[in-house]
Structure 1
Amino acid sequence: MTGSETSPMFRLAYVPGVTPAKWVRVWHERLPDVPLTLHAVPDAEASDLMRAGGADAGFVRLPVDRTFFSAIPLYTETTVVLVPKDHVITAADEVTLEDLADEVVLHPLDDVLDWDGPPGEAAFERPADTADAVELVAAGIGLLVVPQSLARLHHRKDLTYRTVVDAPQSSVGLSWPEEATTELVEDFIGIVRGRTVNSTRGRKQPEPQPKEKRPDPAARRKPATPRAKPASGKGARGGNRGKPRRRS
């Protein structure tokens, strides 16, 4: 472990679509005296925030610059196409990129999928962000391909989505500046990895004090005084007797 704990709180960044609630809850249970502050940040700004020291760690979309950041991959998301509820695509449970070939597919400037080339026909201009693209889908301008978490984040009653089985996928991971791996960062890594509070790789717990050794009750007993052995010889049984008188 490098670095040192320089702040009385832990600052956690997270990008759209990520829900850190379950890990934050465990943090509050284990470290109630250390406040955790959350920073919602656009995907494109997450790395810059951590580089500048504005967050100790972050849930980000991978990959990251591994010359500066450490990262733990967590999960890979399903990719879906967001469509109006009455669109013909809703007749199927799953679609392919070929099924979108004749559709106008919006490609927002904050798109997080790594396309060799976006599917479908390009719109007249690219929406500024995913939120704007969702509004255009609702207006019937085009469709939008996104990670499932973003489709849920921008949920609308008039829209639905279907899985795109052959589209690029987005992976989410926990990342932090490698040279700033503090004790608090290690604590959070342990929580994300599912370590128990007594894990040897988590924060060290105070060593238990040795129990006071209780004296052996047998040692308190006074040893019995040994009985003297009777003297050997003629007087052993009758004590000291005089010599027998000589008969006259």
Structure 2
Amino acid sequence: MSDLDLRKLRYFLVVAEELNYGRAAEKLHIAQPVLSRQITALEGELGATLFERSSRGTRLTETGTALVDDARALLAGAAALQRRARTAGRQGPHLTIGFMPGLIITSVVRDLVERFPGLTVDVQRTGWDTQVETLLDGGIDASFVRLPVPRRGLQVTELLQEPRVVVLPTGHPLLELEEITLAVLTAENLLQDPDAVPEWRDAVLTVRPNALSLDRIGLPVVNTVEEKLEYVAAGRGIVILPASTAAFYTRGDVASRGVSDLPAGRVGLAIPADRQTPVLTALSEIAEREVGTLTAERVSVMDA
């Protein structure tokens, strides 16, 4: 048997809680087929069936029921091990803070260190797929995240809202429009998980029902902002980014434009619910006070 994947265990626990793959996928912010594949893979690794699905719904098998408490204990133990390993041998108190691309947490870290002399703060860039995973695994102590995120086991404080923009290759015909709307973007290939931009997903399904299946065959698999922008510049598709992220990664071969009917994105601070300490409480207070410094002062978005 291969080593257990902690992420699959976390997915299992959400399905066990919801007993509905659709609701569990929404809670995890992943596509339902992806979740189903992960659970099937976990069952293969364990050599046991964890759920029974029928016309009456989804229910845990006897093995699945027995796994619930063990999985929770294993995940909690893994997180504690990560924290102990990360701090072993270090002198004085230590904190690791995660942040998503485009966010600037310098002033928050500076103020926190001033309030707690002797505190060492490390920072770690996270991604869409890791901003919560790394936190729950104990790899970081707190994280500035882009919402929505699964909130199980977390205390999340919403800090700010900011515009989201579409990034297009320079010279794209849509850049000539006076106003860009979601409707005009439905003909474009989205180079990211459609569930990450549900507004685009819902708009495109009204005109291209197969857009989330057949139309995505042949699209590149991209993970980082840098990869997405490379493919945009090459004319392979578009991406939707927070305005501060687009501004941070400014380059001459792509252009960012506002989308008039696209709601603002949200930024929050996530802290494990079971790790309330004076330092983390202070971090939350400082983040709320310094909210205006978390994104670039000048967001480079072309006026419509």
Q: In the alignment, which residue of structure 1 is the partner of 2:16?
A: none
The residue aligned with 2:158 is 73
2:259 & 2:192 partners in 1: Cα distance?
18
Question: Are positions 1:125 and 2:210 aligned together?
Answer: no
- Cα deviation, residue 25, structure 1: 2.3
Counterpart AA for 2:104: T
Aligned partner letter, 1:177: P
1:21 to 68, 81, 106: 106
Q: Distance in 2 between matches of 1:74 and 1:39?
A: 19
CA distance in 1, matches of 2:240, 2:149: 22
* Pick aligned residue for 1:82 from 167, 175, 180: 167
Counterpart amino acid of 2:239?
A: L
Once the two structures are TM-superposed, the CA of residue 11 in structure 1 deviates from its matched residue by 1.3
Aligned 8 A contact 2:162 2:265 in 1: yes
Counterparts of 2:113 and 2:178, CA distance in 1: 40
- What is the count of residue pairs matched by the alignment? 189
1:105 counterpart = 2:189:
yes
Please name the residue that 1:189 is paired with: 284
Q: TM-score scaled to structure 2, two decimals?
A: 0.55
Return the alpha-carbon distance in structure 2 between the equivalents of residues 167 and 150 of structure 1.
Answer: 16
Q: Secondary structure of the equivalent of 1:82? A: strand
Give secondary structure in 2 for the equivalent of 1:10.
strand
8 Å contact from structure 1 (residues 113, 168) kept in 2: no
Q: Determine helix, strand or coil for the equivalent of 2:189.
A: strand
Question: Deviations 1:20-52 (Å, cap 9, x if unpaired)?
Answer: 122122223333321111011112212222222
SS state at 1:74 partner: strand
Separation in 2, partners of 1:99, 1:39:
37
Deviation at 1:100, TM superposition (A): 2.0
Unaligned runs of 5+ in 1: 1-5, 196-248
Q: Which residue pairs with 1:152 in the alignment? A: 247
| 2:4 paired residue number | none
Letter in 2 for 1:157: G
Q: CA deviation at 1:83?
A: 1.4
- Tell me the residue number matched to 1:60: 145
Distance 1:93 1:12, change over 3 A: farther
Contact 1:133 1:144 in 2 (8 A): yes
2:272 counterpart letter in structure 1? P
Between the aligned partners of 1:92 and 1:182, the Cα distance in structure 2 is 51
Aligned equivalents of 2:285 and 2:172: distance in 1?
Answer: 45
Note if 1:135 corresponds to 2:219: no
- In structure 1, the residue matched to 2:271 is 176
- Deviation string for 1:154-176 (max 9, x for gaps)? 32112111101222543110010
* Structure 1 vs Structure 2 CA RMSD: 2.6
TM-score when scaled to structure 1? 0.67
User: In the alignment, what sits opposite 2:24?
Assistant: none
Corresponding position of 2:19:
none
Counterpart of 2:117 in structure 1 is 32
Unmatched tracts of structure 2, length 5 or more? 1-86, 291-304
Paired with 2:133 and 2:239, the residues of 1 have a C-alpha distance of 27
Please list the CA deviations of residues 174-202 of structure 1 after superposition, one character each: whole Å capped at 9, or x if unmatched.
Answer: 0101110111101111211229xxxxxxx
Shift of residue 13, structure 1, vs aligned partner = 0.9
Deviations 1:84-119 (A, max 9, x none): 2222222345410122233x2223249733344364
SS of the residue corresponding to residue 46 of structure 1 reads: coil
In structure 1, the partner of 2:80 is none
- 1:32 match: secondary structure: coil
Bigger RCO (CA 8 Å, 6+ sep) = 1
Contact 2:99 2:125 in 1 (8 A): yes
